[in-house]
Copies of this chain bind each other. A is one copy, B any other.
Amino acid sequence: MASTPPRAATLHEVAALAGVSHQTVSRFLHNKGPFKPATIERVEAAIQELNYRPNMIARSMRTRETGILAAILPSPVTAMPTPTLAAAAELARQSGYFMEISVIEGPAQDRAKRTQELLDSGRLEGVLALGALPGMSEQPRGPGTTALAILDQYDDRLRGIGPLADASALREIIETLAGMGHRRFLHIQGPQDWSSARARREEYLRSIEDLGLDSHGIRGGDWTLESGYAAVSGLEEDSGVTAVIAANDYLALGALRAAHDRGWPVPRRLSITGWDDLPTARYAVPALSTVAVDQRSQGRSAMERLIALVRNEPAPDSTIPVSRLILRESTGPAPEPEPSEVQR
């Protein structure tokens, strides 16, 4: 008394039930060629009856297309906003792809090596690096090669390109602060193997120079709260800095806390700005002035680019969503110079 095996139905079984050949069913599934109405009906009924689902593995075997993409999380992983990841995954699914994720820690060299292994595995049609991947560049899909797209991408001259690289809001920040009387700035930078961090740093330096302002220097170096805290903690008492431009919100929130611990009121003595508009930024005390970026559309547009590379289509004209400066409580007019300092 063998009970029915729970094995899934195959194309042949559907064909047998419908009284047609397996090829007809296959064609039906791909909407190829015209069919007699009667055929359509019978095949549809058979599929329904057997609850048939095509076996993707077998299909992949024949077509050599796996439909699988992989996303590489940046290191450290906290630098990855979940909405970016989620948006990329959603678009992949909508476009008929599966998206795996791959965590690659370690120094740039190891990351590049593991990424290369992924590219060579032959299992993937495309790889999306959701962050910086120093030493590697985007490539389309060819016969035998896997496509690679990089969210934090740079060009031949190491200039940032792509949705993460737009640092123009930084000039706006500095102009705004200069308009409030600020003259001496500090930049807390991100890791310099990220082109977005480099772009912000460069825009900072350029703006300072163009506007005839002073920079006390540049601190930081990674994306962490600790780094931001240390930057402001280590600031000399007489540095004259009245505005701190952080490369992201984590750095800025760390800086905010350091200012608090030193008894420096923000923004009365020190103005601080961030970048990313984290959910918590708005509820910080004081609320953080920052640059709102649309993380979901960043993830989506990166995935769009990858899929174009996979399909060897021209790159979609990525309408990069403009990042938008949001002024909250952490920025304000520059403090009046203290009388004692004026006398000196």
Q: Chain A: residues with CB nearer than 8 A to chain B?
A: 5-8, 53, 55-58, 60-61, 66, 68, 71, 73, 77-78, 80, 82-83, 85-86, 89-90, 93, 98-103, 120-123, 142-145, 224-225, 229, 250, 253-254, 256-257, 260, 278-280, 282-285, 287
Contacts and interface: CB of A to CB of B under 8 A. Distances in A.
Contacts of A279: 78, 224-225, 250
B123 A103 contact: no
Contacts of A120: 53
Closest 9 CB pairs of A and B: A6-B144, A257-B283, A77-B86, A77-B82, A86-B103, A285-B285, A57-B60, A100-B100, A89-B103
Contacts of A89: 73, 101-103
Contacts of A86: 73, 77, 103
Contact of A99 (B55, B85, B101, B278): B101
A73 to B, nearest CB: 6
Given A82-B80, A82-B82, A89-B103, A56 B123 contact: yes
Contacts of A60: 57
A6 B145 contact: yes
A120 B250 CA distance: 41
A241 B78 CA distance: 35
Contact of A103 (B90, B121, B287): B90
22 contacts: A6-B145, A7-B144, A55-B122, A57-B57, A57-B60, A57-B66, A57-B123, A68-B100, A71-B101, A77-B82, A77-B85, A82-B82, A85-B101, A98-B100, A98-B123, A100-B100, A225-B280, A229-B283, A256-B283, A256-B285, A280-B280, A284-B285
A258 to B, nearest CB: 9
A214 to B, nearest CB: 28
A232 to B, nearest CB: 11
Nearest to A296: B77
Given A57-B60, A60-B57, A82-B80, A122 B257 contact: no
